[in-house]
Chains A and B, each alone.
Chain A
């Protein structure tokens, strides 16, 4: 029950702040849409006409996942930096629920809110491009959840760095490109890609949304690999975050910015 109350409180806070910072939220959505228009224009006007439809579909899925990965992974770090600047990080650390639980529920809350925004944007981008993807919710949902779970793991690692070093903005800038690589490069490029976070998840979603496959077509092996991948990254992220939190407490860095 405590978990539910914690989640509710953070979902409400995320919603209220998004509402209060409305111009910021609108700017974020518009930026996302205009970048997509740019990509679409490049493919439309300069791409090979014979592969144009496939390329546009590929870009839509990748771009959506890139946006999601950016929101989920960077957010953990940004939240910690922002809380340290505001002066509320130590206050959160004093909750008997533990800071990782608070930030995780906040992250789940914002994933839900961003998930709704992303879904709306997906419809708008498909309308703009005139390309309709296969939105098989039943097949996409479990893969989406596991993929996001793996992203949380990476997010926790970024959060761990933020809790110790605080000024990680430069790293987050570089991270944008790394995440673009992870979402845009197909799994078939190298077997090594299976070991990277959430690549397999994005690839499976592409199979469903572009290739029209279902969970049954995908089979249990890729799903098991996705589950193990997500689980390992999440646990690693959690352990790393707790290690960093402890280090910050030993060195007295928790509230410093």
Chain B
């Protein structure tokens, strides 16, 4: 696959204004972005996600390391590299609220040196695609947040760049508009052959539309993997055992000693044990503990894991074994 963006050993630190304390926002971050993929950039607040995004967009200079966009180093030949990337960084705040929908599109195209005549057809297409045709002469401040968000993405699309970088594209949108934006993004990749990088806290969005995810925590990349593979990795190791009798205290202690990340609950009819296994064969250790009291097993199920649970586990340091 063709590399569109190459990020090597990226480091960026800030100095706090008052205390002069140096904060390392990003440490030796390295990953690639490939043509035609939707990459999800994830991380908790303060993880270094926004800094990474701004470094990619050329809005920040790194202390060390390099970013190449289509082979062009973005610190050395910044303006040239910006011909291949456009972004929506602050959603609806990226627009001029006293201009109409069409005027915004025309203005931002003009800022990239394109004439109104040249982009007229493209604007018409985008207005159709983003379902904004009937609002084209409406001032932006009169649009709903969802429409403003769609317009901001349309503005980035009009830049005609290979890479679109979207920071929280579904933040604050209602369910319907959020789903609409997801469909639009999928269609941009499919029909317009663009590459998209999405930064989001919405795990549903990442799971639904991203091919691959890069998770950043405390300034470093902790995961760079395909979303489906990541879910599978965690899924196969999470089992739920339904037991017809409760576990004794000794059994519970033995389980906890071997599998600290277990969850045990009882109700009147059954007891349930959920365990995370490092290796599939570790299930036999559970059987050994159950064997002690000959506790009957009703069923063993592989527990379906949601992507937000995977994310949490990685952030809590569980990524080491996921990377095995």
Q: Which residues of A contact B (CB under 8 A)?
A: 1-3, 5-6, 8-10, 12-13, 16-17, 20-21, 86-88, 90-98, 102, 246, 249-252, 254-255
Contact = CB atoms under 8 A, between A and B. Distances in A.
Contact of A90 (B61, B90, B106): B90
Contacts, number: 105
A88 B94 contact: yes
B34 interface: no
5 contacts: A5-B118, A16-B99, A17-B98, A87-B93, A252-B54
Contact of A92 (B86, B90, B98, B111): B111
Contacts of B80: 96
A255 B51 CA distance: 12
Contact of B90 (A20, A87, A96, A102): A87
Contacts of A97: 79, 111-113
A24 to B, nearest CB: 11
A252 B14 contact: yes
For the complex of A and B, 4 pairs with smallest distance between CB atoms = A9-B110, A87-B93, A2-B113, A96-B82
B81 to A, nearest CB: 8
A246 B95 CA distance: 24
Given A95-B82, A252-B54, A6 B111 contact: yes
Contacts of B82: 94-96
Contacts of A96: 79-80, 82-83, 112-113
A34 B269 CA distance: 88
B118 to A, nearest CB: 8
Contacts of B51: 252
A96 B57 CA distance: 11
Given A16-B103, A21-B98, A95 B112 contact: yes
B111 A98 contact: no
B87 interface: yes
Given A91-B89, A91-B94, A94-B58, A6 B79 contact: no
Given A9-B107, A97-B79, 18 more contacts: A5-B113, A5-B115, A9-B111, A12-B106, A12-B110, A13-B107, A17-B96, A20-B139, A86-B96, A87-B94, A88-B94, A90-B90, A92-B111, A96-B80, A96-B82, A246-B61, A249-B61, A252-B14
B90 A6 contact: no
B107 A8 contact: no
Nearest to B79: A96
Contact of A17 (B86, B99, B111): B99
Contacts of A255: 54, 59, 89-90
Interface residues of B, number: 40
Nearest to B106: A9
B259 interface: no
Contact of B79 (A3, A13, A92, A98): A98
B302 interface: no
B96 A250 contact: no
A92 B159 CA distance: 12
B86 to A, nearest CB: 7
A246 B12 CA distance: 15
Interface in B64-113: 79-80, 82-83, 85-87, 89-90, 93-99, 103, 106-113
B93 A86 contact: yes
B89 to A, nearest CB: 6
B60 interface: yes
B131 interface: no
Given A94-B86, A246-B61, A252-B14, A6 B113 contact: yes
Contact of B14 (A9, A94, A102, A251): A251
Contacts of B108: 91
B114 interface: yes
A25 B57 CA distance: 36
A145 to B, nearest CB: 24
A94 B109 contact: no
Contacts of B114: 5
Q: Which of B97, B109, B111 has the most CB of A within 10 A?
A: B111
A33 to B, nearest CB: 25
Nearest to A250: B61
Contacts of B61: 246, 249-250
A177 to B, nearest CB: 30
